[in-house]
Amino acid sequence: MVTAMSWDLVCPGCRTRTGDRIDVRTLDRAGDLLACECGRRYPIIDEVPIVMANPAGYLRSEISTIVERDLSPDVAALLVADGPDEAPYARLLEHLSIYMDAHWGDRGVDRAQPPEGFAAQPIIERLARLPRVELAVELGCSVGRIVAELAVNADRVVGL
């Protein structure tokens, strides 16, 4: 685990070499990222710090080995930063973002109202008009938005 290291990791992006020495900056842990004063960030994946000059470029080419892991949004964003929009992982994240926004878009931190064309709005409005029940079941609950709405008027909800 990268919780307490007995050595300091240095930023390969901003170290400079002079005639008689190498100037370095150490990295500080910020969640599942290592951050440098220069603004560069390096991911920690499965508690392994990935500290190299271009971690995103390397990890984009090795994406099949990490795509099955649960990555934080910060690490996922770092993996697609400065890469082409048509790269496989960038496209996957874009599709996931659209999918999640279709379900939970009205709950966004910066949203005062649902986004234009919010896909779940019609069913959410219809569920709100249903009478209270003891048990509600949703088959094929996807990312759980309808289960959450069913819970408003049900004592117990099951989503499969």
Q: What DSSP string describes 94-149?
A: HHHHHHHHHHHGGG-TT-SSPPTT-TTHHHHHHHHTSPPEEEEEESS-TTSHHHHH
Instruction: Record the tokens describing residue 106, joined without a space.
Output: 């009205």
Query: How does pLDDT run across 94-130, given as a tens digit for each residue?
Result: 878 888 877 887 777 666 666 666 778 888 889 999 9
As a whole number of angstroms, the distance between CA 61 and CA 47 comes to 20
Instruction: Record the tokens describing residue 54, joined without a space.
Output: 């271009």
Instruction: Record the tokens describing residue 113, joined without a space.
Output: 């109202």
pLDDT on residue 74 = 82
Do the beta carbons of residue 75 and residue 45 sit within 8 Å?
Answer: yes
Indicate whether 128 belongs to any domain. Answer: yes
Indicate whether 19 belongs to any domain. Answer: no
Indicate whether 122 belongs to any domain. Answer: yes
As a whole number of angstroms, the distance between CA 45 and CA 21 comes to 32
Indicate whether 146 belongs to any domain. Answer: yes
Length of the chain: 160
Per-residue pLDDT of the chain (160 residues; tens, 9 = 90+): 444 455 678 888 888 888 888 888 889 998 888 999 988 888 887 777 888 877 666 665 665 555 556 778 888 887 777 777 777 777 778 878 888 877 887 777 666 666 666 778 888 889 999 999 999 999 988 888 899 999 999 999 999 8
| Structural domain count, the chain | 1
Q: What is the enclosing helix (H) or strand (E) of 93?
A: helix 88-104
From the CA atom positions of the chain, what is the Rg in Å? 22
Instruction: Record the tokens describing residue 149, joined without a space.
Output: 């709405």
pLDDT on residue 62 = 61
Indicate whether 16 belongs to any domain. Answer: no
Domain span at residue 149?
115-159
